[in-house]
Structure 1
């Protein structure tokens, strides 16, 4: 075997030398052939997944339309408002999307946790459960916002069981395809994008149904009061769940990058993001109009936890990626300037300041997870430790 390897190596070296005389480089050709073949297999795999997603979309439409027709029987209903199509459609779409994610995850990741120790398997399974809830909530909130917008543009429109069922089928198809694709392969950057999108969708819906149309004169927490408070408070609760799950995925990527030797530092990162998510959810569970002092304390605590989690995560990175450093310095400066303009000169109100800070924070998180996605391997990495902390 040693002789064979030596012969292949010397032959390859000889052919490499032949490049100067114009002779084809056979070793290079062989590598290129294998690369094309590997690329072809990757392409075939993606096409197969796309075909599966199309079938999943069709099944989701049929299930959503069937359930919608059954639930929306009786007199025609408006798109939004009391006794409307919105809530049943949102419920159907959410259930179908969650089911699509479960089916896709089981199909494409069955046995992936088998070589993992119990603690790592538990974290992975908890993340999957959390994501199932997330995709149900994202789809439902998207349906509610869409029906609210359509009701504004199509005033007076009322649909019966068949028309409402078809709309429920379309909503289920969109949510089902999105969730099924996520079950095939969900990256940390995708999850951070879902967080940002869900915050925007939920806040817009809360604005459109706010009991006080002049809520913006105070702050975003004012949306958590009145008859429609469930929309904003529910958005915060689900967003907290997403933040905690993003933290779990960040920990997964850091472990793939750094290995078991960094488990103690990675664990601190995951715990801090979990606490940040729990604090964000607590803001929704403790509305401003009921417990003002507790609400404000929790809100400030959430901001502090976010900063601590961000700094801790950045320090775990090997080296200091320039993209992350530049973004951190730039956003810190912008937040400082915004605070001065708000409280020092009164150029804009607290609501605008909150929107700026949240937007900049999400931009920083997106930069973080994109850099992490570039650095970390995509393959699963089972830990060799039987216990997380020892």
Structure 2
């Protein structure tokens, strides 16, 4: 198959759009088939209580698997050539990030369908769709998820991952709030939602996505600065990956059953993210004035937010957590856009055959 880059830009865009549309129709057909098999001619409510059969959970599971498959297929079709010239360690990092994102896209589709189902159930109370209607809903969800995932597989930028991260956190937290057993959870903190599996799963997958963002930041920095800064870039990647692991630990250890481990993971997430932010700021060659302004502004905003929580008591811990996440989103978005604007879009294969050997050679050169 000839490289699409040899074709005019308009022809490449048209071909990609045709492939994406075809993938969406294929996903719809699979979703319809699996939906008909799952519901087996039995009418079910859109959403039901624990232990009862409903439409949403089978639809979410089906859409999740099909969406993940669409992303993986698109990546293999359009980006496998990027790793051909890479050494083994760099190729392994690329494959790991692809595997992580395959899981993430499936989880995003799963949580999005669950949330949509709960909202529909609240708005259409008492409505029980016919099996064919439930299968059609499954087909629509599968097509929508696959259309987005297939596009991402064609060309995925780091800034797209940050948008996906905070969008997923919003969807997952919304679902956890809708299904929370305690309607007064907000009087404490978001960890109070940890008694439900939805919030824990959201945080675990968010940790996986943070680690993937770190890998993509490392990719962009390497495209920008090359092998000469490989050791410093590696430190940035390790710190972001550790941040993601700590965040996943917040979900693995719910506050209700493992409060000590939960608190350690939560504090570790904040400390590791601060270290990662400091490291990437130092590694970047000459942060732009806008990046510097955003960093200073984010620091001032964080201090102000903490002071408004304690000692002034303007809001509780849950309110503080929302504000902190919002500030981090603004800063992280500015960071990845700044790096993305400076880094070339072309893949850059490392000249180092071994990662540890690359670190040693870099030290010798300096």
Which consecutive unaligned segments of at least 5 residues does structure 1 have? Answer: 1-37
Q: Are 1:213 and 2:161 counterparts? A: no
Q: Distance in 2 between matches of 1:270 and 1:309?
A: 8
Superposed, 1:323-334 pairs within 5 Å as 323-334=290-301
Superposed, 1:121-270 pairs within 5 Å as 121-225=91-195, 229-270=196-237
SS of the residue corresponding to residue 212 of structure 1 reads: coil
Q: Are 1:304 and 2:271 counterparts? A: yes
Q: Distance in 1 between matches of 2:258 and 2:23?
A: 45
SS of the residue corresponding to residue 330 of structure 2 reads: helix
- Deviation track 1:272-331 (CA, whole Å, cap 9, x = no partner) reads 000000000000000000111221121111101111101101111111211211111111
Q: Distance in 1 between matches of 2:319 and 2:65?
A: 35
Runs of 4+ aligned residues of structure 1 deviating over 4 Å after TM superposition are none
48, 54, 70: which one aligns with 1:100: 70
- Deviation track 1:141-166 (CA, whole Å, cap 9, x = no partner) reads 00000011111111111123211100
Mapped contact 1:206–1:231 kept (Cα < 8 A): yes
SS of the residue corresponding to residue 313 of structure 2 reads: coil
Mapped contact 1:198–1:239 kept (Cα < 8 A): yes
Q: Are 1:354 and 2:324 counterparts? A: no
Mapped contact 1:57–1:177 kept (Cα < 8 A): yes
336, 343, 346: which one aligns with 2:310: 343
Q: Distance in 2 between matches of 1:45 and 1:274?
A: 34
Which consecutive unaligned segments of at least 5 residues does structure 2 have? Answer: 358-366
73, 79, 83: which one aligns with 1:113: 83
Counting matched residue pairs gives 350
Q: Root-mean-square deviation (CA), in Å? A: 1.3
TM-score of the pair, normalised by structure 2: 0.94
Q: Distance in 2 between matches of 1:142 and 1:284?
A: 18
Match of 1:373 in 2: 340
Mapped contact 1:72–1:160 kept (Cα < 8 A): no
- Offset of residue 111 of structure 1: 2.9
Give the greater-gyration-radius structure (CA).
1
Q: Distance in 1 between matches of 2:211 and 2:337?
A: 18
SS of the residue corresponding to residue 112 of structure 1 reads: helix
- Offset of residue 39 of structure 1: 12
SS of the residue corresponding to residue 86 of structure 2 reads: coil
Q: Are 1:77 and 2:44 counterparts? A: yes
SS of the residue corresponding to residue 389 of structure 1 reads: helix
Q: Distance in 2 between matches of 1:252 and 1:117?
A: 14
Q: Are 1:286 and 2:256 counterparts? A: no
- Deviation track 1:367-390 (CA, whole Å, cap 9, x = no partner) reads 111111101000000100011122
- Offset of residue 250 of structure 1: 0.2
Mapped contact 1:138–1:198 kept (Cα < 8 A): yes
Mapped contact 1:77–1:158 kept (Cα < 8 A): yes
Mapped contact 1:57–1:176 kept (Cα < 8 A): yes
TM-score of the pair, normalised by structure 1: 0.88
